[in-house]
A and B are shown apart, each in its own frame.
Chain A
Amino acid sequence: MTTGALRILLAEDDDPIRERLARIIGNWPEAQLCAACPNLEETLIAIGANDIDLLITDINLPDGSGIDAIRYLAKRRPKAEAMVISVLADERSVLDAIEAGASGYLLKDADSIDLVDAIKDVMAGRSPISSRIARVLVRRLSELGHAPEHPEAAKPKPSLTDREMDILWGIAKGFTYGELADKLAISRQTVPVHIRNIYRKLQASNRSEAVFEAARLGLIKL
C-alpha cells in the first residue's frame, strides 16, 4: 500500500451503480479514482495504463468476467489488491474471485461508510468472510483428499494451519468474529488477518492447479 491517496480502478457495467460507487469513492479524501470502466476491455487497458492500488470490479461485465481482470491485475500489478462487487455476495462467484486473487468483496448496495470500511480493511491486510463462504470452503477442504471420485479431490489441498481451520470452522458454524476471538483467545482484529492468509493459500493452491492443468495441456514444461 502506498502512502499517498489510494488509487482505485472501478469496473461496473451498470451506469447508475457505477456512478454511485464512483461518487462514494470520489467523496473519500483518502482515495483517488483512476478510472471507472463499464466493460472488461476498458478495464484491462486501464490496468495497463495506471499504477493502481486497488481494483473494484463486478464479476459479470458485458464483454467478459471481472475475474479475468483480477487475474490480469495479479500479473501486471502483483502488489495491487482486488475486490469484487456483487449484489448477493453469493459464495461461488466470491470464491472464484478469491481464488483468482481477490482479497475481499463488497455489496453493491453497501452505503458509503460500509464501503469505505471494507476497502480500508482489505488494504490493511484483513479480509471478510461470510458464514456461507466459510461453509463452502470447509466442505471443499474436507472433500479434497477424502473422496477420490470427487472432481475436487484432484485439486491440491491448501495447507491451512490448525488456527486457520478453527476460524474457518467457527465462522461456518455461525460464530461472530468476537465469539471466535474469545474462544481462541485472540484479538478480534486478528480473525480477518487469518482469513486473508486463508485466501492467499487458496490462491496459491489455485495457481498450482492452473500450472498443473497448463502442464497437462502441454503449455508449460515442468
Chain B
Amino acid sequence: MAAGGRPLGRRGKAIAWIALVTLTIAIGLLPYLIHVGAPTDGLTLATARFIQTGENTERVVSLPHRWTPENLFELTTGTYRLAFRLETVPDEPLFIFIPAARHQVETWVNGQRADPVPDTAWPTPTSGYSFLARIPRGTLHAGDNELVVRQTRKVGWLPGRLSEVSIGTADQVMPAYRLSDFLIEEIRAMTFALHIALTIGIATIWITRRHDAVFGWLATLSVTSILVVLTQAPQHALGPVDQFRSIALTPAVGLMAIGMALAIAGLPRPKWLVPAVVLLPLALLLLGQTGTVPFAIVGLVSACFLAAAYFVASAILAHRFAREENWDAAIMMGPCALTGWFALHDVLVVTGIHDAPFLHAPYARTLLLLAITVVLMGRLARSLNSLDNANETLRQQLAAQEWELVLMHEKEKIHANRMVREEERRRLMRDLHDGMSGHLVTIIALAEREGERGKDIEQAARAALDDLRLVVHSLDLGDGDLGVALAAFRERLEPQMRRLGIDLHWSTEKLPAVTGVTPQNALSVLRILQEAVTNAIRHGAARKLSIQGQTAPDGQALLCVFNDVHGTALQDRSNIGNGLRNMHRRARELGGHIEFLVTENAATLRLSFPPHLPGLQ
C-alpha cells in the first residue's frame, strides 16, 4: 500500500469507492446547485429587445438570452433595450445588477451611462461575471424608463449571453452581488495565491529531491499552468490572438497531468512523454502560425486534448487505487476527472452546444491545487511518521546493541575472572603438585622403605595427601558439580577400601540435583563424609561401608553413611565426639544437619541439606 496505513478490506474498499465517486459527482454538480440569480425583492427584467451589429431590426427576446455572431471571430456588439416602469423614484440610489454577464458590458439608463463597479483583475469577460452599476442620481423618473445594455465581444468564439437584469436598492442587490463576488473574484484570488505559494513550495522540494518524479511533474505542471493563467488574463498585454497562441500550452499541461498521475501511481513514464510535452505545443503553434490551422481550431483542439488528458490521468489514478489502494491516487483521481469534465463543459459552452452562465475551468484549478495540498501534506505526515518510526527503530536497535555490549562486557568480565581463577588454580596446582604433594609422596615412599617402623608416618602422609586432594579437587567446582566432587571422593575411597578389605557400596543416583555448590560447601560435604568414613574404619572396624544418596520426602538431599560395627571398637568415644561436633558445625554451614545412630552392630550417619545450598557466610 503506497500511502501507508492498514489495507482496506473488500467492504472498506467499496465504501471508499462510493465515497470518492459521490464526492466527485457532488462537486461536479455544485455549479448547478449554487445559483447566483436575481434578487427576489427587486425589479427583475426578463424580456428585452435585442439587436446585433449588422442587423437592421430589433427583436424581442427573453432573458437569459444567448447570441452568436455568424463569424465566430467577429468582434461584435449586441445591444439589449429593456423597458421598465417606476411608480415613484426612490430617494436612495438604485443599482443595475446582472447576475451572469459575459464579455464587456456597458449600461445606459435613459441615455445616461451607469457607473460600473471598478473591475478587478479576477473576473474575466470570457468566463462570466456579475455586473453591478449605480444608476446616476436624477436619471430615473416616475413612469417608463429604458435601460440599454451593450455587450461587446472582444475575444472571439464564446457566445454572448445576458441573464435577467435586476434593478434595486443596495439592500436588495448587494447580497446576491456579494455571493457572486465571493464565488467569482475571491475564490479566484485565493486560488491564484494558493497556486503561487504551492508552486514555490513544490519547486523548492523538487530542487532538493530531484529523483522524486511526483514533485518533478507537480512543479512543471504548476509553473506551466501559472503561465497559462497569466497569458489568459484580459489585462495582460497579449492581444486576443496571442491568447489563442498561449492556449496551445494547455496540451502540455494535459501531458504533465498524465506524467504526474503515472508518478503518483509509481508507474514507469513512457519515453515519448517528456518530448511530447515540448513538441505538441510547438507543433500546434506552428500549425496556427503558418495558417495551416486557424488558431481557433488550435485552441479547440488544445482544450479537447486537455480534457482527454485529465480523463486519462484520472483513469490511471483510479486503476492504481483499485489495484494497490494508493491513497494519493485516490485523492487526485476526483479533481483530475472534474478538471476533464469542466474543460469538456467549457468547450461545449464556448462552441455554443451547451448553455451555461459561467465557465467552470477556473474552478478546476482550485480543486486540483487543494488535492495537491492534501497529497503533499499526507506525504509530509507519512515522511514524519516514517522518520519517527525509523528513529524509534534506531533507538531500539541502539538499546539492543548497548544491552548486547553490556552482556558481552559482563561475559568478558566473567571470562576474565574465570581465566584469572584458572590461572591461579593452575599455579596453585603446580605448586601443590610439584611441591607439597610431591613431598608427601616422597615421604610415603621413604616411609615404606622403613617397613613397620614407618607405618605411622606413611599413614599420616597418606591422610595429608588425601586431604590435599580434597582441597585441590574442590577448588574449581562449579554450580551443580556436587556429583563430580562426590565421584572424585569415591574414586579416592575405592582403592583405600579395597586395600583395607572393606566392601564399599556406593550410589548417589537418587540424590536430588543440588545447586549453589561452591568449593567451600562441597568441601564441607566431603569432609563430613571423610570423617564418617574415618570413624567407620577406626572406631567401628567396619567390614562393610555403604554410602547412599537419597531425596528425603521434604525434598532435602540426604547422604547416608552406613557401616557395620565389630567388637569393642566404639568404646573410645572421645574422638568420635570431637568429630561429630565438627560434622554438626559443617552441616549447619550447609543449612542442614546430621544424625548419628549407633546400634550394637551398626552405625549410621545421615547428612541432610537443602538442594539449594546457601552462599558463603
A residues at B contact (CB < 8 Å): 14, 16-17, 19-20, 60, 86-88, 90, 92, 108-111, 113-114, 130-132, 135, 171-176, 179
- 11 A-B interface contacts by CB (under 8 A): A17-B441, A17-B442, A87-B465, A90-B472, A108-B441, A109-B462, A111-B499, A132-B487, A174-B483, A175-B487, A176-B490
Contacts of A173 in B (CB 8 A): 483-484
Q: If A16-B445, A90-B429 touch, does A174 touch B462 (CB 8 Å cutoff)?
A: no
Interface positions, chain B 505-528, Cβ under 8 Å from A, are 506-509
Kindly identify which residue among A20, A131, A135, A179 contacts B491, using a CB–CB cutoff of 8 Å.
A131
Given contacts A20-B448, A109-B465, A114-B498, contact A88 B437 (CB under 8 A): yes
Chain B, Cβ-Cβ closest to A20: B445
Is B481 in contact with chain A by the CB < 8 A criterion?
yes
Q: A179 to B487, Cβ gap below 8 A?
A: no
Is B569 in the interface zone, CB < 8 Å from A? no
- The interface residues of chain B lying within 8 Å CB-to-CB of A86 are 433
**In the complex, chain A residues whose CB is within 8 Å of the CB of B445:** 14, 16-17, 19-20
Interface 0/1 of B287-321, CB less than 8 Å to A: 00000000000000000000000000000000000
B608 → chain A closest CB, angstroms: 19
Residue B495, interface by CB 8 Å: yes
Give bound CA distance, A151 to B438, whole Å: 32
In chain A, what residue has the closest Cβ to B476?
A132
Cβ of B14 under 8 Å from chain A: no
B482-504 interface (Cβ within 8 A of A):
483-484, 486-488, 490-491, 495, 498-499
Which B residues fall within an 8 A CB radius of A?
Answer: 426, 429, 432-434, 437-438, 440-442, 444-446, 448-449, 462, 465, 469, 472-473, 481, 483-484, 486-488, 490-491, 495, 498-499, 506-509
Which residue in A108, A135, A179 is a CB contact (below 8 Å) of B481? Answer: A135
Given A88-B469, A179-B507, CB of A14 within 8 Å of CB of B442:
yes
Given the known A-B contacts A88-B469, A109-B462, A132-B484, are A14 and B429 also in contact in the complex, defined by CB atoms under 8 Å? Answer: no
**Chain A: CB-nearest residue to B473:** A132
- Cross-chain contact A114 with B495 (CB below 8 angstroms): yes
> Whole-angstrom distance from the CB of A18 to the nearest CB of chain B?
9
Chain A residues whose C-beta falls within 8 Å of the C-beta of B483 in the assembled complex: 131, 173-174
- Report yes or no: B433 in contact with A132, Cβ–Cβ below 8 A: no
The residue in chain A whose Cβ has the minimal distance to the Cβ of B446 is A16
CA distance A56 to B606 in the complex (A): 42
Q: A11 to chain B: closest CB distance in Å?
A: 15
A87 and B441: CB pair below 8 A? yes
Tell me whether A109 and B433 are in contact in the complex, defined as CB-CB below 8 angstroms, given that A132-B484, A176-B490 are known contacts: no
Given contacts A14-B438, A131-B484, 15 further A-B contacts (CB under 8 A): A20-B448, A87-B433, A87-B441, A90-B429, A92-B426, A109-B444, A113-B498, A114-B499, A131-B488, A132-B488, A135-B484, A172-B484, A173-B484, A174-B484, A175-B509
Contacting pair A130 B491 (CB below 8 A):
yes
- Bound: A172/B488 CA distance, A: 10
Contact of A16 among B432, B449, B469, B481 (CB under 8 A): B449
| Identity of the chain A residue whose Cβ is nearest the Cβ of B484 in the assembled complex | A131
Inter-chain CA distance A113–B494, complex, in Å, is 12
A86 to B433, CA, bound (A): 8
Find the B residue at minimum CB distance from A128.
B491
Knowing A172-B484, A174-B486, say if A88 contacts B442 (CB, 8 Å). Answer: no
B117 to chain A, nearest CB (A): 88
The chain B residue sitting closest to A171, CB to CB, is B487
The 5 closest A-B pairs by CB, nearest first: A131-B487, A174-B483, A174-B487, A16-B445, A20-B445
Q: Are A176 and B506 in contact (CB under 8 A)?
A: yes
CB distance from B434 to the nearest CB of A (A): 6
Chain B residues with CB under 8 A of A179? 507, 509
In the complex, the chain A residue whose C-beta lies closest to that of B434 is A60
How far is B478's CA from A172's CA once the two chains are assembled, in angstroms? 13
Query: Which of A14, A20, A109, A175 has most chain B Cβ within 10 Å?
Result: A109
B507 x A176 contact (CB < 8 A): yes
Chain A residue numbers with a CB within 8 Å of B490 are 174, 176
Per the bound structure, the CA–CA distance linking A176 and B448 in Å amounts to: 31
**Nearest residue, chain A, Cβ from B448:** A20
**CB-based nearest B residue for A114:** B495
* Chain A nearest CB, measured from B310 CB (Å): 63
The CA of A114 and the CA of B507, in the complex, are separated in Å by 22
- B511's nearest neighbour on chain A, judged by CB, is A174
Return chain A residues, CB-CB under 8 Å to B473: 88, 132
Closest A residue to B507 by CB, please name it.
Answer: A179
Cα distance, A54 to B79, chains bound together (Å): 138
Specify which chain A residues have a CB less than 8 angstroms from the CB of B491 in the assembled complex: 130-131
Looking at the assembled complex, report how far the CB atom of B454 sits from the nearest CB atom of chain A, in whole angstroms.
Answer: 12
